[in-house]
Structure 1
Amino acid sequence: MPDESIQAALKAHPVADLAWLARRKEEIVEPALPIIDPHHHLWDHPGDRYLLDEALQDFTSGHNVVATVHLQCRSMYRASSPEEFKPVGETEFINGIAAQSASGLYGPTKVCAGIVGTVDLLLGNRVEPVLESHLAAGGDRFRGVRPTIVWHESKEVLPADNVPNVLSRPEAMAAVKSISKFGLSLDLWAFFTQLDEVAQVCRDNPDLTVVVNHAGGPLGIGPYADRREDVFVEWRKKLEIVSRCENAVIKLGGLAMRYGGFAFNELPEPPSSDLLVENWKRYFDVCIELFGPQRCMFESNFPVDRGMCSYQVLWNAFKKLTRQFSETERQCLFSGTAARVYRLAD
């Protein structure tokens, strides 16, 4: 059975209703456009399985997904290892899935061509043996780490009992230095209220690529449920500070999680790509304006975001809201930035 933190995470997201999602059919926009999906998860939780077969149903549903990157999600941890080494089990498992995909027997999409695992930043420089184990387990696919640093004081926002202000702790600062020394990237999922800490990490580690997840975490639930415009202004201000750091890149996605407060899953019919564009375009416009296409990449965040929209509709929306950009800029947004950041071979 999953531990308490996994149970809290599962409760935090709406469960995907596949029959409901199937009620929305759209013609695929620009089906030939190559996509690298730089942020998805594979897991097998009680009543919620999303492994290679399930993922391929999405990746091959019409869009030209040429490769993907798996992000840690507390899946397949080792049962009998020292606590700090348990997450290496996820890397071992995902590397096996990647090997399945690389055989070519499951189609041309290179699933899990890149792997991002996790470590406990509070280990300080004792994180280095764990990083070495991840690199050994992931072979030439292990690209970076995403530690748990997301936190909010409101249980309406985040029900899990995560540690506050992790990035400001001396142990974490030392661990981040080790991650940089190993030539790995650092993915950070943080709410907009934590972006000051993210900016400080970027400034303190100029040689480290820091990947800001989920558009910098704007919130629309709990104490922010009726403050969308105030949040937008504050989010933009904080994100602008992060964007000044040339080593920071950002993932455009994650707004179909419950945290954004869009609640598309409560609609009688699944959202259309036009509805997603209507609600999200200004957020992604800000991200692209601040970071530039060369430091932005669209992400699916599946299967989490599948709780509110289908894979087909999601990428249709991303394509529609970037029609004003040049071919070169769109190549960065849909594949180029991801290939560079995660060092994926052609």
Structure 2
Amino acid sequence: MVHSLKGIVDGVVDTHVHQWDPLRTPREASVLARPYQMAPHLVEKLFSTLATQRDRELILTPKHVAQPYLTEQYAADAEGVAAAAGAPVTSIVHVEAGWQGKGPLAAADETRWLTSLPFGRNGLPNLAAIVAQADPRKPECGTLLDAHLAVTPKVRSVRLNAAWHPDRKVKSWFNAPGLLTSRDFLAGFSALVERGLSFEATVYSNQLGDVARLAGEYPEATIVLTHCGTPIGLFGPMGSRTGWTVAQRAGIASEWRDHIWALAEHPNVVVKCSGFAFPQLGYGHESEGNIGGPKILQELWRPLIDHVTDAFGADRLMFGSNYPMDKPNATVPTLAGMLVDVLGPRGDDVLRKVFRNNALRVYGPVD
């Protein structure tokens, strides 16, 4: 550890964590959960041969999504952050994790379920905030937001995963581009603004122009860009034609840099320094450990983090682990420690803002 949070913050806020239980709650992975409990090796073998390329490259292995990932599991994964970064994780922000319940207000059941988890007990991290699921295009969006808020005021942001890529072999959540700039989405977005909620923009780097358009249409709303915009294929081949050559990867990097700089012109946009080990960046397709260690991770990400920091400034950056989605490739201590070392030369105030204070400003105080 070259730099440290020791004496700078008492506790880290991890702004991007998914909690789920596919055995007891309706999730996309619920269909895998019970077979995985009975025959994990068979399910993993079948996944490697029968799953689509999109899904294989997204999660690498089913074991992290087909099993419960709850407060206790995250606490165990984050246990080494104090040693690696100089301060423990004391609070998390849960980001909606694809609740599959039936009915227009079913997503509020995920919020209700979260309140039953033992956050803050017996040394477990606190729940700082909830990023809830809602679709501004739906006429019942406002009613759903009120249902979320009726459960707990910790609902402070909303996500509709808008990731779309022109490479059909890359996982997309919608079958066409332009979701964030569609007429219905822009019209319905006012339901979030009226309730003082922010919006999490989960997109790929080819969509960063759409995030800028949304930020311009609603300058009074806080827009949180997750995972630094996820430049698919930046570090290696993905899909059928993304990042397969040095020239392609250079083009992805150049386009990403230009879009990040342009997006930073909108003062209502905040960036999550998260998703550093996300498989879709192109690290490799083995089930685990495709990066090669903390030093390589830092070498890959230092120029990107420097660019994001130069563009947005320390007041508009927040740390997030993206766990357990990043778990196949890196530990939480590795992710946090890498970011501390990259940002450390910029001073204690930068570290204080990125690892705690900015999260408290964007999501509200931690109880």
Normalising by structure 1, report the TM-score.
Answer: 0.83
Question: Using a 3 Å threshold, how does the CA distance of structure 1 residues 216 and 296 change in structure 2: closer, same or farther?
Answer: same
AA aligned opposite 1:332? K
AA aligned opposite 1:131? L
**Do 1:88 and 1:134's aligned partners in 2 also have CA atoms closer than 8 Å?**
yes
- Which of the numbers 180, 193, 210 marks the counterpart of 1:197? 210
Question: Using a 3 Å threshold, how does the CA distance of structure 1 residues 29 and 89 change in structure 2: closer, same or farther?
Answer: farther
- SS for the counterpart of 1:74 is coil
- Which of the numbers 141, 145, 149 marks the counterpart of 1:131? 145
Residue 101 of structure 1 is matched in structure 2 by 119
Residue 95 of structure 2 is matched in structure 1 by 71
Q: Write the deviation string for residues 187-236 of structure 1: whole angstroms up to 9, x where unpaired.
A: 01011111111101101111100000110121112322222211111111
Question: Using a 3 Å threshold, how does the CA distance of structure 1 residues 251 and 155 change in structure 2: closer, same or farther?
Answer: same
1:224 aligns with 2:242: yes
Residue 87 of structure 1 is matched in structure 2 by 107
What's the C-alpha RMSD, in Å, of the aligned pairs?
A: 2.1
- Which of the numbers 320, 334, 338 marks the counterpart of 1:313? 334
AA aligned opposite 1:224? T
Question: Using a 3 Å threshold, how does the CA distance of structure 1 residues 325 and 268 change in structure 2: closer, same or farther?
Answer: closer
Paired residues for 1:161-310 under 5 Å: 161-220=174-233, 221-222=238-239, 223-225=241-243, 226=245, 227-263=248-284, 271-310=292-331
The whole-number CA distance in structure 2 between the counterparts of 1:271 and 1:178 is 45
Deviation, 1:162, is 4.2
The whole-number CA distance in structure 2 between the counterparts of 1:172 and 1:101 is 33
**Do 2:71 and 2:124's aligned partners in 1 also have CA atoms closer than 8 Å?**
no
Question: Using a 3 Å threshold, how does the CA distance of structure 1 residues 279 and 136 change in structure 2: closer, same or farther?
Answer: same
AA aligned opposite 1:101? F
Residue 150 of structure 1 is matched in structure 2 by 163
1:327 aligns with 2:352: no
The whole-number CA distance in structure 1 between the counterparts of 2:191 and 2:305 is 32
Residue 71 of structure 2 is matched in structure 1 by 52
**Do 1:271 and 1:309's aligned partners in 2 also have CA atoms closer than 8 Å?**
no
- SS for the counterpart of 1:116 is strand
Question: Using a 3 Å threshold, how does the CA distance of structure 1 residues 161 and 247 change in structure 2: closer, same or farther?
Answer: closer
Deviation, 1:264, is 8.1
Paired residues for 1:2-81 under 5 Å: 30=4, 32=6, 33=9, 34-45=11-22, 46=33, 47-63=66-82, 64-75=88-99, 77-79=100-102
The whole-number CA distance in structure 2 between the counterparts of 1:256 and 1:269 is 9
State the structure with bigger RCO (CA 8 A, min sep 6), 1 or 2: 2
Q: Write the deviation string for residues 51-101 of structure 1: whole angstroms up to 9, x where unpaired.
A: 1221110233342112110000114x445xx2x21111111111222xx22
**Do 1:149 and 1:163's aligned partners in 2 also have CA atoms closer than 8 Å?**
no
AA aligned opposite 1:281? R
Segments ≥4 residues shifted beyond 6 Å: 266-270
Question: Using a 3 Å threshold, how does the CA distance of structure 1 residues 159 and 109 change in structure 2: closer, same or farther?
Answer: closer
The whole-number CA distance in structure 2 between the counterparts of 1:50 and 1:328 is 33
The whole-number CA distance in structure 2 between the counterparts of 1:260 and 1:336 is 28
Question: Using a 3 Å threshold, how does the CA distance of structure 1 residues 268 and 219 change in structure 2: closer, same or farther?
Answer: closer
Deviation, 1:109, is 2.4
Residue 128 of structure 2 is matched in structure 1 by 113
**Do 2:193 and 2:220's aligned partners in 1 also have CA atoms closer than 8 Å?**
yes
Q: Write the deviation string for residues 118-139 of structure 1: whole angstroms up to 9, x where unpaired.
A: 1122215x311011001012x1
- 258-267 or 277-286, which moves further after superposition? 258-267
Deviation, 1:268, is 7.0
Question: Using a 3 Å threshold, how does the CA distance of structure 1 residues 130 and 266 change in structure 2: closer, same or farther?
Answer: closer
**Do 2:163 and 2:172's aligned partners in 1 also have CA atoms closer than 8 Å?**
no
In structure 2, runs of 5+ residues without a counterpart are 23-32, 34-65, 83-87
**Do 2:133 and 2:158's aligned partners in 1 also have CA atoms closer than 8 Å?**
yes
Quick one: percent identity of the two aligned structures?
25
Number of aligned residue pairs: 309
- SS for the counterpart of 1:289 is helix
Q: Write the deviation string for residues 6-41 of structure 1: whole angstroms up to 9, x where unpaired.
A: xxxxxxxxxxxxxxxxxxxxx797363531100110
The whole-number CA distance in structure 2 between the counterparts of 1:39 and 1:274 is 23
